[in-house]
């Protein structure tokens, strides 16, 4: 799919407007979701001494951000939807950055881990390699990236007012490996269901210190 800069601007604007307009409904529909498995998948692989400095990438109203901070870590949120940023700041008391995923401004070598739960699938495939390199640059050496995305057959486009890219495991591996990450593991969610009833692909990755890709 060929996307022009104007297309990308529209994708961000329309998707973020969708979330801004439905922020309270989204919060009510997701606040009780159990993602402890995902949080532990990230934390167990971080080799630094705690407390960790963590980025909740696409933090939404702050459910997971509060959980990370509640474990004693220094947790920073980031979201492109201004209403989510406001809600997350109020709910968690944490620092929350208002940044479009396609226009990131992240500090270098700052985070021990990045928690990208149900967020990176909103990045169009054309821009994903660049965004992953920017996330990589914000990790400390041996930093860890967790991601969970709705999986698919490498299709992308609009779905109920939001843009999404739905990758196979093989394609997702290709993107992450090219960006300089080594896979630590993956699994499907929700737990305990047949594979056809597990729409979410979760994976954990460590920043590699060799074969650093060029931005």
Q: Domain spans of the chain?
A: 5-207
Position 210 pLDDT exceeds 80: no
Instruction: Specify the pLDDT at position 17.
Output: 97
What is the average per-residue pLDDT within 121-145?
Answer: 97
pLDDT attached to residue 215 = 44
Q: What is the pLDDT of residues 48-62, one digit of tens each?
A: 999 999 999 999 999
Kindly tell me if the per-residue pLDDT of 212 is higher than 70.
Answer: no
For domain 5-207, the question of CATH label 1.20.1600.10 is answered with no
Q: Per-residue pLDDT tens for 3-38?
A: 999 999 999 999 999 999 999 999 999 989 989 999
Distance CA(147)–CA(202), nearest Å, equals: 6
- Residue 5: which residues within 8 A CB-CB, separation 6 or more? none
For residue 170, what pLDDT is reported?
98
Q: Which helix (H) or strand (E) element contains residue 144?
A: strand 139-150
pLDDT digits (tens, 9 = 90+) for 31-45: 899 899 999 999 999
Each residue of 77-94: pLDDT tens digit?
999 999 999 999 999 999
pTM value surpassing 0.85: yes
b/e sequence 113-144, b meaning 16+ C-beta within 10 Å: bbbbbbbbbbbbeebbbebbbbbbbbbbeebb
Q: How far is CA 130 from the centre of its chain?
A: 14
Measuring CA to CA, which residue among 169, 172, 68, 49 is closest to residue 114?
68
Instruction: Specify the pLDDT at position 213.
Output: 57
């Amino acid at each position: 799919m060929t996307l022009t800069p104007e297309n990308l601007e529209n994708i961000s604007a329309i998707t973020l407007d969708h979330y801004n307009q439905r922020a309270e409904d989204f919060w009510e529909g997701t606040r009780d979701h159990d993602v402890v498995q995902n949080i532990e998948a990230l934390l167990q692989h971080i080799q630094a001494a705690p407390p960790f400095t963590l980025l909740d990438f696409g933090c939404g109203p702050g459910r997971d951000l509060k959980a990370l901070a509640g474990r004693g870590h220094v947790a920073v949120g980031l979201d492109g939807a201004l209403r989510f940023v406001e809600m997350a700041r109020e709910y968690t008391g944490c620092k929350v950055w208002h940044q479009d995923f396609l226009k990131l401004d992240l500090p270098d070598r700052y985070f021990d881990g990045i928690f990208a739960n149900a967020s990176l699938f909103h990045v169009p495939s054309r821009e994903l390699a660049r965004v992953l390199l920017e996330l990589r640059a914000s990790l400390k050496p041996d930093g860890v990236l967790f991601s969970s995305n709705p999986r698919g057959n490498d299709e992308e486009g609009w779905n109920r007012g939001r843009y999404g890219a739905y990758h196979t495991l093989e394609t997702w591996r290709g993107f992450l490996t090219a960006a300089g990450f080594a896979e630590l593991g993956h699994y499907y969610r929700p737990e305990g269901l047949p594979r056809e009833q597990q729409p979410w692909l979760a994976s954990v990755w460590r920043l590699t210190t060799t074969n650093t890709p060029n931005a």
